[in-house]
Amino acid sequence: MTGCLLNNIDLKIVCDIARQAGAAIMQVYQRDDFDVELKGDNSPLTAADKASHQMIMAGLTQHFADIPVLSEEGAEIPYEQRKLWSRFWLVDPLDGTKEFIKRNGEFTVNIALIEDGQAVAGVVYVPVQDKMYCGSQNDGCWTQQGDEPPVKVSVRTIPTQGLTVVMSRSHPSAELEAYLKDLTVAEALPVGSSLKLCVVAEGKADLYPRLGPTMEWDTAAGHAVVVAAGGTVTTVDGGPLCYNKENLLNPYFIVKGRLD
């Protein structure tokens, strides 16, 4: 992770920005109480989402002024404007707000670099664990726990006893049960936020079928991390999961480790 460069972008700077955003989140998380608003789609919003967004926007603007930013908590940017972007940051300042509210620790800061519709680099930071995931096309996938040295990680070969399947902690799905019916599943692992992709990337799980709604900012950073670790993220029919569509809702997708 140290000195990780992608197209003249130092991802260590992006990791530092994610840590700063995580610290802002933890200031709210450690309060005895905090207010929860509902956005137009009835999804929750807290002061932590807002504080993280402001920290990330300030950091990315300072260090990468020529690269636009699309953030979940930012102003809506018309497709006619953003369709001209060949490269931009795609940000979820606090992925897993429901997990944040439940205080189970399974929430993340997600910052992805998108080039020509593809997630080419991603940083996922887990504030409660002080754990960083960083992945890029050039440098592979790394994790870093606190101030310890970074460790390179990769997807694993399926254990002989069967698959460990990651599933959403907050969004159970009948479609998922049908999808898994003919597979040999040794363990079902409920996880919140983009950590679902990260546990596949670091070889703790083998498969994450997402047969429910997600937005582009939910997946982009984790997507880049998985691919950097040697895994795949595709639509259900095997096509590419692309970014900066007119409609930012993702299709259903499948995350795989080393399944062949």
Q: What is the pLDDT of residues 152-200, one digit of tens each?
A: 999 999 999 999 999 877 666 778 888 888 899 999 999 989 999 999 9
Backbone angles phi, psi at 84, to 5 degrees: -85, -10
CB-CB contact of 110 with 96 (8 Å): no
Q: Is the pLDDT of residue 42 over 70?
A: no
pLDDT of residue 173: 72
Pull the structure tokens for residue 66.
Answer: 């020529």
> What value does the mean pLDDT of the chain take?
92
- Cβ atoms 235, 241 nearer than 8 A: yes
Residue 114's φ and ψ, nearest 5 degrees, are -105, 130
User: Of 71, 39, 46, 68, whose CA–CA distance to 56 is shortest?
Assistant: 71
Q: How far apart are CA 206 and CA 58, in angstroms?
A: 36
**Statement: 5-153 belongs to CATH 2.160.10.10:** no
pLDDT bracket for residue 251 (50, 70, 90): very high
pLDDT at position 227 is 97
| Comma-separated ranges of CATH 3.40.190.80 domains in the chain | 163-256
Q: In the chain, list all ranges with CATH 3.30.540.10.
A: 5-153
9-34 pLDDT, tens digit per residue, is: 899 999 999 999 999 999 999 987 88
pTM to 2 decimal places: 0.93
Q: Name the nearest CA neighbour of 27 among 45, 48, 44.
A: 48
Tell me the CATH number for domain 163-256: 3.40.190.80
> DSSP string spanning 182-194?
TS-EEEEEEE-TT
